[in-house]
Structure 1
Amino acid sequence: MGYFQLSQEEERKMKRARTLLGTALLLINCMTVAKAAENSNTQYAPGASQFYAGAIPPFEGFYFLSQTSYFTANRVNDGKGREIPIDFKVKATVETLRFMYVSDIRIGEAQLWGQLVLPLIHLDISNAFAKDSGFNMGDATATVGLSWHPDQKQTFITGIDIGMPTGAYDENALANAGLNHWSVQPTIAYHYSDPQGLEFATAARVIFNSENTATDYKTGNEFVLDYAVGWNFGKIRVGATGYYLKQFTDDKGPGVASDGHRGEGLAVGPSLSYSFNPGLGISASWQHDVVAKNRSEGNTLWVNVATKF
């Protein structure tokens, strides 16, 4: 049997190729939805609340919010925010339907409210070794909460979101709309709105994730802060929206890196809104990832339509 001897330069190239292949295979095994890896993905989309954070109306009734988002990325970063050198592309189009009911039940000065959130997700994911796409229902979220309205300009809310594994999931697929685990997300939010001036909204949540039983992988717990600030010019509002995400416990499961694969992200971008009347409004926001650690780095476009039934 014949053999050949590699030069030192060729050996270095082979070692680098094996390293990149290992990284690629790890990504393939872990990738799920738009943020690229199972252990960098949440059942709540950071930055989603925008100017709707804390904006629970004081009037009883049914409300509806349609959120259409388009996320694109062509890079995945390591734990220090450096690009991992591998061909990678993801496109995610999501239609999120939020059905909210504000009741007339009061607990002291607080008003009881709840919502059901249903995402429809179309994914296209590709890298140097595999390609996948699909359209499916994502994981649903149910919320129950309380709201306070100290005056006509301010609203405080608190609530508990329950993320449910209702989305389509296949552990052997690259593009998964669901995450195959539960989450509990206590949330607080504040909204201030002057119809002829400043508008400010922020929402903070902690996400406690359960284990994905199909992969024996448990994503670490995360803190997410959404924010929005703008100025109202009559029916038009101009501003900025974004989010900050920080994972504060390690991932647990097969293949977890020594740093616990803790994710961190920061995004910001412009926003424009128009109010047709008190019961119908439309807004658009663009958010750019300026910090992404152990996450994909990309851009998200949001188009939102809110109305009262």
Structure 2
Amino acid sequence: MKAVAKTMYARHLRHASLSLLAVASVGVHATENGGSSYPMGSENYMSGAMPPPGLYSQFFVNHYEADSLRDNRGDKVPVDFRVRANVIAPRLIWVTEQQVFGGSLAFHAIAPLVDLKVEVNGQSQSKQGLGDMIFGPALGFHHSDKLHSILALDFIAPTGEYDKDDLANVGRNYWVVEPVLAVSYIDPNGLNIDAKTMYDFNLRNKDTDYRSGQELHMDYAVGWGLGNGWVVGVGGYICHQTTDDRQDGDRIEDNKGRAFAIGPSVKYTSNKGWFLTAKWQQESQVRNRAEGDAYWVKLTIPF
């Protein structure tokens, strides 16, 4: 029994090691080494509203900290653990003049720059560098002045540095295919609702022969427009791992991650075309991952 417990603790320590990679790891889900290739909770208001044709730049800024690990029952794992990540992720968006199936065709790419530090039982490691990049095509639809939606197919590439023997890594070392549906209801003088729903198909890590389970997750925001450019409300994310991990072809049981995060969220829209969103989100109802807090700021600027 002691050997089994030791193995379980070792697995949880490794889960912490890759907890935050790039913009794509504000949450540490089960899967391999406890990480997720999408930055859970990164989106906020306006996530489903595609702008008019043109070039746009976005900048995501994130700070995440966690000091506890939760097991399959949600109990705290008794290890001395702390993770801290700071991320700046520039994003380029090109909305074309082309219409496909009635929607505006667009393309985007995100290049996260990560500063990561992991401490476990007196050992620590820090890394800085480019994380795993996200890119893909999208179609934007405007159903009315207030209701908008986006259909997209994102790809997450293993561009971040990775070493299977390291405590901290800023890359996952496998590809992810991610269908996306985002919907926004926007009223400058009333209710605002945003939901960006994604499903991750994680491919195999060739260095470990590990394939992380599929993940269903959603970034959300609900607020009230004050009529002066400001929206105030709450936001966060919901995540649920839907299939088991597999290593060397064998299924790994009792390792599915899930979490719910919520916190205050605001948006400011200027009369010059740029807008800024900001939020703090606290994780709860956590299983098989780290539990912590994240701060997000997103700035969108047209060229």
> TM-score, normalization: structure 1?
0.89
Q: Once structures 1 and 2 are overlaid, which stretch shifts more, 279-288 or 293-302? A: 279-288
- Alpha-carbon distance between aligned partners in 1 of 2:120 and 2:33, rounded to the nearest angstrom: 18
Q: Which secondary structure does the structure 1 equivalent of 2:12 belong to?
A: helix
Q: Which runs of structure 2 are paired with 1:99-178 in the superposition (5 Å)?
A: 99-178=92-171
The equivalent of 1:292 in structure 2 is: 286
Q: Which secondary structure does the structure 1 equivalent of 2:45 belong to?
A: helix
- Alpha-carbon distance between aligned partners in 1 of 2:253 and 2:150, rounded to the nearest angstrom: 38
CA shift at 1:203, angstroms?
1.0
Q: Which secondary structure does the structure 2 equivalent of 1:85 belong to?
A: coil
Q: CA RMSD in A?
A: 1.8
1:91 lines up with 2:84 in the alignment: yes
Equivalent in 9, 14, 18 of residue 32 of structure 1: 18
Equivalent in 179, 202, 207 of residue 214 of structure 1: 207
2:12 counterpart letter in structure 1:
L
**Contact 1:77-1:297 within 8 A present in 2 as well:** yes
Residues 9-46 of structure 1: CA deviation (Å, up to 9, x unaligned): xxxxxx76x66644443234442132456353221111
Residues 229-271 of structure 1: CA deviation (Å, up to 9, x unaligned): 1111111110111111010110111797532x11111100001
The equivalent of 1:11 in structure 2 is: none
- Alpha-carbon distance between aligned partners in 1 of 2:218 and 2:292, rounded to the nearest angstrom: 18
CA shift at 1:104, angstroms?
0.4
Alignment: residue pair count:
292
CA shift at 1:197, angstroms?
1.3
- Alpha-carbon distance between aligned partners in 2 of 1:295 and 1:55, rounded to the nearest angstrom: 32
Q: Which secondary structure does the structure 2 equivalent of 1:93 belong to?
A: strand
Equivalent in 37, 41, 65 of residue 43 of structure 1: 37
1:266 counterpart letter in structure 2:
F
The equivalent of 2:23 in structure 1 is: none
- Alpha-carbon distance between aligned partners in 2 of 1:257 and 1:41, rounded to the nearest angstrom: 16
1:253 lines up with 2:251 in the alignment: no
- Alpha-carbon distance between aligned partners in 1 of 2:116 and 2:8, rounded to the nearest angstrom: 22
Q: Which secondary structure does the structure 1 equivalent of 2:99 belong to?
A: strand
Please, which runs of 5 or more residues in structure 2 have no aligned partner?
21-26
CA shift at 1:49, angstroms?
1.2
**Contact 2:178-2:201 within 8 A present in 1 as well:** yes
CA shift at 1:107, angstroms?
1.8
**Contact 1:137-1:168 within 8 A present in 2 as well:** yes
> TM-score, normalization: structure 2?
0.91
The equivalent of 1:76 in structure 2 is: 69
